[in-house]
Amino acid sequence: MRVAFTSSDGETIDQHFAAAEHFHVWEIDPDRAAFVERLSAITRAEDEEDRISARASALAGCTIVYTLQIGGPAAAKLVSRRIHPMKTGAERPIAEVVGRLQEVLRGTPPPWLRKALAAPAPDAD
């Protein structure tokens, strides 16, 4: 599955969703994890709703986005696109989070994650 992280350096989850300049996207499964790409999160949209939509569109195909913090409207926009926002609340190394996610995938993932893994990605609007 594709997982995005808000990070200033590609090593640490250290940015708020709305302030992130880039999303670092990884492909993660129970046995492998690899960095895939760095997506720009910068948008020229003036309106906050348009900026949130643009960021959500950039994350199309991702199952989860890990971020330091995220506001309610942005979280709702992601959930509506079947992207699960995960707030860390404190800076965390991406490698540590990837390892923990792989452990969950090797065991019994929670229902929301099993459902997300089985569902096809929605069309972007």
- Tell me, what CATH number does 11's domain have? 3.30.420.130
Residues 6+ positions from 12 with CB-CB distance below 8 Å:
91, 92, 93, 94
Task: Determine, yes or no, domain membership for 125.
Answer: no
Query: Domain limits at 35?
Result: 2-118
pLDDT at position 119 is 60
**Number of domains within the chain:** 1
Residue 27: strand pairing partners: 2, 34
Residue 114 lies in a domain: yes
- Is 80 contained in some domain? yes
Residues near 41 by beta carbon (within 8 Å), at least 6 away in sequence? 6, 20, 21, 22, 23, 55, 58
The model's pTM: 0.88
* 38 belongs to a structural domain: yes
Q: Tens digit of pLDDT for each residue in 44-93?
A: 666 667 788 888 888 999 999 999 999 999 999 999 999 999 999 999 99
